[in-house]
Amino acid sequence: MRARRHPVLARSGLLDSSLAPAGVLLLRALGTTLVVYSLLGLWLAEHAEPLWLVDTAREWLNRALGIGEDFGGFGLCLLLLTHGWDEAAAHARGECAKDRIRRLLGHWLPVVVATVVAIGALSFGADVLTRPDTVPQPDLLHALGAVTLADQVLPQAAPLLPLAWLVLVQIAGSLLASASRRTGRVVWLAPAAQLVAVSTVGVLGVSPGPTHRVAEIVAFLPLVVIGQVAYQVWAREISSYLGTSLGLLAWVVSAAISNTHATLRHWWYPVTFLFAVLLFLVTVRTSGRTADRVARNSVVRWIADRAQWLVLLPGVVCYPVLDALHTRLPMALTAVTAASAVAIATEAGDFVTRSALRPRGSR
């Protein structure tokens, strides 16, 4: 079997989108855009504000397809799939440990910045997206919980950044992938071992207890595995039959976990997973000249490169802006203003942390 060329190792930063094939980059940009859109939808739903675009999309697309949360969950699924792909691609090109740490640091640093912004905004009395809606005046413990992501899994904790579980799944997925590669030269054993680990947590988390909440988050981990398997099939490391079997198994694992959790069940996540995986596979398979051309667009690249920021910052930047302006401006204009505020905050956050992530010796 002819081995396909691996994506070129980027010269500069690890968040550089030139690492990924065009289709994967497009999906990361799409997933990010959908998450931002869904956060706007969540705000509208919480404030019972109508907006024609969102209401129509709900009626004609979301309910018809069975994809809830204004495509937010779908967008996160796409981000996890592309993360799995990147993980496998990085391994295939022999990424060293230092680079891997730097890559994961790039995923985590936005959490730190978003935590600082969230605490700042909350102390000024601004409305920030938190779960549950009313978080007491945050203290050092809150900050510590958010920065270490512990507040996502501790049973009694209220997450300061409700979407930071994405980062937890990404980091857990990467660590699990690294650990599972110790299974040796049989390539398919690595994803299989990861699925076994995920299933174990899933089974332990069925009954209410400390692992219940962990299992809720782990339900999304199979998507990282599917991303890896997709890369392995694409790179001809494993056959497509084996890849399909592993992919189906991964879907079954995540569907089974989400069906055993009352908080997940009514969102129909297995349907969302299926749509996300199908879109991912079709895009990777058909990614060609058109995808290349779109991926070269600077806006698309900008969004894809700053995915983490754009997922974490809207809750802490958009929400206060929306709150302050929606009584004074038309809703559509308010939404655009809030989106611009997020863009500026993203660029600022990226600028601040970029130097920390730049490999030594490069500009």
Q: 123: exposed, middle or buried (C-beta count within 10 Å: 0-12, 13-18, 19+)? A: exposed
Considering the complex, state which of residue 72 and residue 138 has its C-beta at the smaller distance from other proteins.
72
Q: How far is the CB of 66 from other proteins (least distance, A)?
A: 4
Name the one residue in this structure whose structure tokens are 């990924």. 20
Q: 279: exposed, middle or buried (C-beta count within 10 Å: 0-12, 13-18, 19+)? A: middle
CA 160/CA 268 separation, integer angstroms: 25
The helix/strand count (H/E) of the chain reads as 17, 0
Considering the complex, state which of residue 2 and residue 266 has its C-beta at the smaller distance from other proteins.
266
Considering the complex, state which of residue 55 and residue 347 has its C-beta at the smaller distance from other proteins.
55
Residues that bind other proteins (CB under 8 A): 38, 41-42, 45, 55, 58, 62-63, 65-70, 266-268, 271-272
Considering the complex, state which of residue 11 and residue 63 has its C-beta at the smaller distance from other proteins.
63
Q: How far is the CB of 49 from other proteins (least distance, A)?
A: 11
Q: How far is the CB of 276 from other proteins (least distance, A)?
A: 13
CA 228/CA 189 separation, integer angstroms: 12
- DSSP one-letter string for 201-235: HHHHTSSSSHHHHHHHHHTTHHHHHHHHHHHHHHT
Considering the complex, state which of residue 62 and residue 174 has its C-beta at the smaller distance from other proteins.
62
Q: 151 and 158 in contact (C-beta within 8 Å)?
A: yes
Q: How far is the CB of 42 from other proteins (least distance, A)?
A: 7
Q: What is the DSSP code (8-state) at residue 137?
A: S
Q: How far is the CB of 76 from other proteins (least distance, A)?
A: 14
Considering the complex, state which of residue 52 and residue 124 has its C-beta at the smaller distance from other proteins.
52
Tokens describing residue 291: 């995808």
Q: How far is the CB of 58 from other proteins (least distance, A)?
A: 6
Q: How far is the CB of 210 from other proteins (least distance, A)?
A: 28
Considering the complex, state which of residue 89 and residue 163 has its C-beta at the smaller distance from other proteins.
163
Q: How far is the CB of 38 from other proteins (least distance, A)?
A: 8
Q: 163 and 311 in contact (C-beta within 8 Å)?
A: yes
Considering the complex, state which of residue 33 and residue 199 has its C-beta at the smaller distance from other proteins.
33
**How far is Cα of residue 273 from the mean position of the Cα atoms in its chain?**
13
- The strand ranges marked E within the chain are none
Q: How far is the CB of 67 from other proteins (least distance, A)?
A: 6
C-alpha distances in Å from residue 95, one per residue of 18, 92, 223, 224: 15, 8, 22, 18
Q: 117 and 66 in contact (C-beta within 8 Å)?
A: no
Considering the complex, state which of residue 66 and residue 359 has its C-beta at the smaller distance from other proteins.
66
- DSSP one-letter string for 309-355: HHHHHHHHHHHHHHHHHTTTS-HHHHHHHHHHHHHHHHHHHHHHHHH
